Amino acid sequence: MPTEIVVAPEECRLVSQGAVLLTRHLGSGWALVIHHPERQIGALARFSGRPDRAIHEALWAARPLAGSRRGWCAYAIGGAAAPGDEPAARLAHSQRLAIQASLWREGVLLKGEECGGHRTRMIYFDPAVGRLIVRSAEPIASRVPQTSLPCPLAS
């Protein structure tokens, strides 16, 4: 049974054979799985801001073990928004494009993505066999419209 390493928000973890990476309750934030199939190593970075720092951190940790800039592939997961929250959906779309641009600058192939939607996600990644499982979890609560009610004590 491989060792399970849980990746928390704003964290990056690197593993090789004998360990798997997990993250749960990924909603509007992002997770980036970076994998080198030949060396059977990978990293999972979880972030909510700009992707450049998280991508650079994941590659900085993983490249010394792989010894090369070539052969890396990545998967982007996240960007969920509550139903009816258009600003959050637009932000998720722009972050997805920023992730693509950051990976392109680093020379990493974006092999797949699971973005948007209205549910949180759970990620399981085993770099030894290259298995990535993304499962939908609970729905994100919709925004409650705020209405002002007259206060009888204020008059």
Give 50-102 pLDDT, tens digit per residue.
Answer: 888 888 888 887 777 766 667 889 999 999 998 888 888 899 999 999 999 99
3-state secondary structure of 87: helix
Q: Which of 14-18, 46-50, 132-136 has maximum average pLDDT? A: 132-136
Question: 3-class DSSP state for residue 64?
Answer: helix
**What is residue 67's predicted lDDT score, i.e. its pLDDT?**
65
Q: Taking each helix axis from N to C terminus, what angle separates 51-66 and 86-106, rounded to the nearest 10 degrees?
A: 30
The 10s digit of each residue's pLDDT in 107-130 is: 888 999 999 899 999 999 999 898
Position 28 pLDDT exceeds 70? yes
What is the overall mean pLDDT for the chain? 85
Range 3-140 classified under CATH 3.40.50.150: no
Task: Reply yes or no on whether the pLDDT at 48 is more than 80.
Answer: yes
30: Cα within 13 Å, side-chain hemisphere = 29
Q: Is the pLDDT of residue 155 over 80?
A: no
Query: At 151, phi and psi to the nearest 5?
Result: -95, 115
Which secondary-structure segment (H or E) carries 69? none
Q: Tokens in use for 100?
A: 């693509």
Q: Is residue 96 within 8 Å of residue 79, measured between CB atoms?
A: yes
Q: Greater confidence, 131 or 64?
A: 131
Task: Give me the percent of the chain exceeding a pLDDT of 70.
Answer: 88
